[in-house]
Amino acid sequence: MNRFAFFEFIVAFRFMREGLMQTLLIILGVGLGGGVIIFMSAVLSGLQSNVVRRTLNFQAPIVILPPNQVARPLRAETRAEMAVQVQPRSQQLRSIDQWQKVREQVARTPGVVALTPVVSGPGFAVRGDANKAVTITGIEPETYFDVIALPEKVVAGRHHVGPLDIVIGTELSADLGAGVGDKLRLATASGAAATLTVIGIFDFGNKSVNERSVYIALRSAQNLLDLTGGVTALEVKVLDPFAAETIAETLRAGTDLQVDSWIRTNAQFFTAMAAQIVTNTLIRVFVGLTVALGIASVLVVSVIQKSREIGILRAMGTSRRQVLRVFLIQGGAVGLAGSVLGSLLAWTFLLVWRAVAKNPDGTPMFIIEMEPSLFAIATVGATVVGILAAVAPARRAARLDPVVAIRS
Amino acid sequence: MEHTLRLDGVRKTYGVGTPVETEVLHGIDTALERGEFAALIGPSGSGKSTLLNLIGLLDRPTGGRVYIEGQEAGTLEDADLTRLRGRSVGFVFQHHYLLPEFTALENVMMPILAARGRPDQEMRDSAAALLDRVGLTPWRDKKATDISGGQQQRVAIARSLAMKPALVLADEPTGNLDTKSADSVFDVLRDINETSRTTFLIVTHDPRLAQRCDRIIELVDGRIVSDRKNPSVVRRG
């Protein structure tokens, strides 16, 4: 006897065809639920990867800084009754000690793909009467662009800064009224100043970055910030941004420097992201449950409607297992058909979303990947959910007493 | 000689262990030989249907034994019981009970399909031959719900024969039909009995029908009160 045979499929599909309206409605229900789940998953992962990409646009995954300066009390803590107040000391702008050596060491660390030295400190951009506080970043163009994709973000002019060049953001450019080719003065609190030519304007899609950051050559920054030969940070790019904290820990263990990963500096963002994942997952789970309950309830009704047929089938030699499979197949088929419909719906939603969710300049607000794997997982998942939802009704059908069923 | 059906002290009690415990069959002993065409008669509530369910292996007796083709049914597991039922017993119900989702031909194929799993040409051919035998070839591709009551009952008869069972149980097979259709359905049953030596047990209220059977078993209050050969029947053939 053929165990996994057509008989159950034939009966299951005829039952479904006979209750066509019921079948179509539940498939539509599963489709809508499935579509929402797929759509939400796609939007969530799209949002996540976009925010990650945007954050890492202007921020290196790992930043190595000199250790914080601490004030140590001179008196040894021998007598408990003695009160000591230790004033935390202010942090000077300092260079990483022997940064070239650290650079070599970090470059050898597994997972690190690029690193670059920077000099970063506060300053003022002055043009005419306008005066803006900025963060000066002195870069080594040869290596910096491997870590931060500045060239991609330059919307006007060039990005390769020379000793007398400066690249500024769109906001600052507007505030100062300085375009490409214009000159501006960059001054620091110590009194050092330089007149530089704007050679490029960037747009990182982040107002504060566009307003505050300026890029100049490493050596110019060293002179302005009085750090000749020194660098204030090493910015490190890693292969997997989400492994940044692990690599940072390795680096922390190997040096006495302060190593910040973007995961740690953006802890709030990650908390928000985690909260979003939790709520999103909850919604998806509940939609899934609703879908499963919908399938189950339709099948329960179907078992009652078909109990006489089940009795007849049993009387003519159909086994309990065969009856069980007839209803499991119906559950699976509804799940499968619903998920195919759901995939189509989600696809449509996503296309509409792409067309509607745009920035004022016409670029997409964020890119949602339509990953085939998501649809495949949804299809398999919905089929399994359908089969599971059918278990209780199917068992009920299989347990029907043929005598009672026929007389019903 | 091996009996197609033998009942040894068969009892059936409903509501065992409850205050409303009622014994509806009080020890039935009887047997049917191969090729017999027997009527089971009796007033309503005499236990005819209960007995038919026990013989048809749809239900298990509270006491006693049921043998189908020499096989004791009480010792069988549920799945084996189902298999024995599928193979050895055919049912014809009063309300014909076809599967409305299927055509006449598919309804007849159904028991074979359930047993073998996948449809094949031989199955189709033998179902078509059975429909031909009950005179329904022109209606074989009609939905079960699109043919008349008499035709539906003939489809049900063809279906009951699909597995070539040794025993066919018919519960008021003509109960819902007009006299003309009833006669033609009865003739079909009789004809099959004579040509293929299938044993028939027919539950009926209709004395006219009972008189046309070879043997009449009468059940009153859960006991057989008479069991006689019917001299009025002149067997054809």
CATH number at residue B129: 3.40.50.300
Of A5, A14, A311, the CB nearest to B101: A14
Q: Taking the complete model, does pTM exceed 0.90, yes or no? A: no
Helical H runs in A306-319? 307-315
Nearest chain B residue to A309, by CA? B99
Confidence at residue B233, expressed as pLDDT on a 0 to 100 scale:
63
Confidence at residue B29, expressed as pLDDT on a 0 to 100 scale:
92
Confidence at residue B141, expressed as pLDDT on a 0 to 100 scale:
92
Q: Which domain holds residue B209?
A: 36-49+80-229
Is there a domain that residue B117 lies in?
Answer: yes
Which pLDDT band holds residue A76 (cuts at 50, 70, 90)? Answer: low
By CB atoms closer than 10 A (0-12, 13-18, 19+), residue B17 is exposed
Confidence at residue A407, expressed as pLDDT on a 0 to 100 scale:
72
Secondary structure (3-state) at A365: coil
Is there a domain that residue B21 lies in?
Answer: no
- The CATH-assigned architecture of domain A99-262 is Beta Barrel (2.40)
Is there a domain that residue B59 lies in?
Answer: no
Q: Which residue has the higher pLDDT, B37 or A353?
A: B37
pLDDT tens across B50-68, in order?
899 999 998 899 999 999 9
Pairing of strands A258-261, A62-65: antiparallel
pLDDT tens across B105-145, in order?
999 999 999 888 888 899 999 999 999 988 889 998 999 88
**Residue A403 distance to chain B (closest CA, Å):** 6
Residues 309-368 of A with CB under 8 A from B: 309, 311-322
Is there a domain that residue B121 lies in?
Answer: yes
Check whether A336 has a pLDDT greater than 60.
Answer: yes
Confidence at residue B54, expressed as pLDDT on a 0 to 100 scale:
92
Confidence at residue A2, expressed as pLDDT on a 0 to 100 scale:
45
Confidence at residue A408, expressed as pLDDT on a 0 to 100 scale:
66
Is there a domain that residue B20 lies in?
Answer: no
Tell me, yes or no, if A107 comes closer than 8 A to chain B by beta carbon. no
Check whether A304 has a pLDDT greater than 50.
Answer: yes
Confidence at residue B237, expressed as pLDDT on a 0 to 100 scale:
38
pLDDT tens across A89-111, in order?
777 788 888 888 888 988 888 88
Is there a domain that residue B181 lies in?
Answer: yes
Is there a domain that residue B15 lies in?
Answer: no
- Annotated domain spans of chain A: 6-55+270-407, 99-262
DSSP code string of chain B:
---SEEEEEEEEEESTTSTT-EEEEEEEEEEE-TT-EEEEE--TTSSHHHHHHHHTTSS--SEEEEEETTEEGGGS-HHHHHHHHHHHEEEE-TT----TTSBHHHHHHHHHHHHHSS--HHHHHHHHHHHHHTT-GGGTTSBGGGS-HHHHHHHHHHHHTTT--SEEEEESTTTTS-HHHHHHHHHHHHHHHHHH--EEEEE-S-HHHHTTSSEEEEEETTEEEEEEE-TT-----
Place of tokens 């089940």: A310
Mean of pLDDT values over B76-97: 86
Check whether A262 has a pLDDT greater than 90.
Answer: no
**Binary contact (A2, B119; C-beta < 8 A):** no
Alpha-carbon distances of B149 from A67, B112, B189, rounded to whole Å: 96, 24, 16
- What is the total count of domains within chain B? 1
Which pLDDT band holds residue B234 (cuts at 50, 70, 90)? Answer: low
Nearest chain B residue to A320, by CA? B79
Is there a domain that residue B17 lies in?
Answer: no
Residues 11-30 of A with CB under 8 A from B: 11, 14-15, 17-18
**Residue B145 distance to chain A (closest CA, Å):** 12
Check whether A38 has a pLDDT greater than 80.
Answer: yes
Mean of pLDDT values over A177-191: 89
